[in-house]
Chain A
């Protein structure tokens, strides 16, 4: 151990980022075994959730078919798979549905890494969507090569600004981000309602919404609705992974998340890191909103019903706040969203079953001891390590 003051640099030298990532007992295993162990708990949770879902379907089958039908879950799940993976268009639809979930999931996940619970992904998503739509309409006269980047950037900046606010409040007044972001979500809903039904209301629309986005719409490159926005998620995942695990900034973010006191002692600046992390999170959620509006919806409705920001919490938790985990969790939930329609048509199971499955997956992840017991798993925890910091700080009002 070297002498002298402990700084970020000496910490980095003695504890390279890989080793300091808390992985529990599985740390020294070979990579494949480690990946297997890491996957066991989420996989177990998913299997159990599907079983619980099946039980709910069987119990409620008299309401679906008029009679108890033990085969109903099989019909439903096969329709779910067919609707998400059964054809080229289905796979493209899965990717399209997964894109905003992955981006917003990263927004929640990077918050987790810094010990912040960003429930505000929903609000940041909405603000990004609104700004992208506003600029997309304003740039209707420009060629797509200019209109698209401008609109996407507008969404990114709006989301970033909306993420900055709770970060700033947390850093300088100690207002807990869970509460402020919940409140900001509802403020965002009202802002969207005001702008899309007031100043920006389209003239020919049958309901309150903005004009249709023309030149700024993301071009479709695959299947019926595979717009180029799906690459945003594909690019964001490695960038965030690099940022978190290969850069000094990421190391500091993770240190603040694991132990803010240690981070302060090591000369890092938790306040700046909190603000920065929330801004990056807002940026990602804003990008998700811009992608969704410019690629999928094509206008901004005043009453925009979406749950991406909340599903993103489930995605981030299932992905253990790791970018690669979030990628796969996002794809899984995207597939569920893509297949839910066919499930409703073929099996008569309402699409809300997907929400039930999501919640039950999270339940088994939170109560991992059930999964451990049933599957005889001994590997490291399935939870997000930095979670402790978040709940501990809920009652703290003044950040040091």
Chain B
């Protein structure tokens, strides 16, 4: 090891990798905890965009769900008598809060589906409306509610995986980080695997991909494009609901205005970076939050020598900006290309198979003259 570190320049890289191997078991739980809401948000985007509908309103859906989860849980906790929480900290109040959050996010998703599928309004505008509305309504209600300082309903607690798993030499920390989580965190891991398999191995997945790539062709083989889009968008709301609830009743136990803090947009980035697949999006979310995790590790326990000095001299804001920069670079096709579903952003209309653009003028719209 020491020999490798001595090599000029490349040794620097080996030192860095060695440092990462050292600190990863320590920072892995925080990385996964930070990645969970982002990955859940990305799954919401996945359900939308794979069926051909842009969703930039993930942020707003998450914020709404976060608020609804916290408020409903708090209200229920005030009404119901105190009872000791069950396993994983599950209490009736938290479950009702979770259900309400999912319901609220599905309702917002329904609005998105109605605007973008039925009204055929612009899908990006629809997402923008959701984001502005969510900031407004949650901020408005939160300010009114916080005047009476409602009590928190608590939060879900972590599952303890069997010791046989977490004490495995070498990889035990990975199981510990992945499975020592609350119910929402565990749901994510299951959902990622299930959706990944279903996308490529089930009838639903095939149909969804068809609708996202070529809705007209899907229609001709008898797939109800509009119904499938509605269903997928509304089901996607479940994940936005989980993402929001995670912030206020699992990761934390309180709500602050605009607390999603751009996570919905990073979720969009993770989705793109992960090439519109659940597993890819989860990986991208982990990569993005790893950047923050490493920053924290460097602050509290920098590696020794020149590498430590170098890492400590990098401004913390650089680590925070890194996910966004990586996304831009990937999108620009510098490092591999990420391709969106072909029909994304196009409103589907049953009557008009191809929604034509308004020709500028007869001269420009007509085919070029054939003769000399």
Contact = CB atoms under 8 A, between A and B. Distances in A.
B331 A265 contact: no
A43 interface: no
Contacts of B341: 395
Given A15-B360, A265-B368, A355-B135, 16 more contacts: A60-B141, A119-B128, A178-B124, A186-B265, A313-B128, A314-B132, A353-B136, A356-B136, A358-B132, A358-B136, A359-B132, A366-B122, A367-B114, A388-B357, A391-B346, A394-B54
Interface of B: 54, 56, 114-115, 119, 121-126, 128-133, 135-141, 143-145, 147-148, 257, 262, 265-266, 268-269, 272, 315, 317-318, 320-321, 324-325, 327-328, 331-334, 337-347, 355, 357-365, 368
Interface in A178-194: 178-180, 182-184, 186-187, 190-191, 193-194
Given A355-B139, A366-B129, A391-B345, A22 B54 contact: no
18 contacts: A11-B360, A22-B358, A63-B144, A175-B332, A179-B272, A186-B265, A186-B266, A258-B357, A259-B358, A262-B360, A307-B135, A352-B138, A353-B136, A354-B136, A356-B140, A391-B122, A392-B346, A394-B340
B364 A11 contact: yes
B359 A169 contact: no
Interface residues of A, number: 73
Given A353-B140, A356-B140, A389 B357 contact: yes
Contacts of A395: 339-345
Given A179-B272, A187-B325, A367 B359 contact: no
Contact of A186 (B114, B141, B262, B358): B262
Contact of B123 (A60, A307, A391): A391
Given A391-B54, A393-B345, A20 B332 contact: no
A388 B123 CA distance: 10
Contacts of A176: 331
> Which 6 residue pairs across A and B have the least CB separation, nearest first?
A355-B136, A359-B133, A352-B139, A394-B345, A395-B340, A356-B136
Main secondary structure of the interface of A (DSSP, over half): helix
Given A190-B318, A390-B124, A359 B129 contact: yes
Contacts, number: 209
B141 A14 contact: no
A190 B342 contact: no
A355 B332 contact: no
Contact of A392 (B131, B139, B262, B345): B345
A80 B121 CA distance: 31
B361 A355 contact: no
A176 B328 CA distance: 10
A339 B309 CA distance: 51
Contacts of B138: 352
